Amino acid sequence: MAEREEVLEESRRLRVLMQQTRLRFIESALSTARALCTIAEADAAMGEIAAACQTLERARRAAESAREASRHAQNLPTTLEKQSTRIAERLHRLELLLSLDEQ
């Protein structure tokens, strides 16, 4: 009986650790996406369209990583959901800006 309780306790501990780690990963991926958006915006402003497009693609991948991890997260803080939405909007604006610059 005591062994079963130990297994259950370890299982609970690992679930909590997994959730905390997943949240840290989401925060990190969103931060990376924001930083890459800033770099892409600066590249675009300097006329470095090819570099901006490459950086934008990296930002998209970081944002997608955060979204994928969010699908598996439980009790995701509203602030992270809002950050993800703002980044998605920012990526869309950058895509539009760069598509205009390429024409």
List pLDDT tens digits, range 67-95.
Answer: 999 988 878 889 999 999 999 999 999 99
Q: How far apart are CA 98 and CA 39, in angstroms?
A: 13
| Confidence at residue 88, expressed as pLDDT on a 0 to 100 scale | 96
- pTM for the structure as a whole: 0.86
Q: How far apart are CA 42 and CA 45, in angstroms?
A: 5
- Give the chain's domain count: 1
List pLDDT tens digits, range 21-52.
Answer: 999 999 999 999 999 999 999 999 999 999 99
pLDDT tier for residue 2 given thresholds of 50, 70 and 90: confident
Residue span of the structural domain in which 38 resides: 2-102
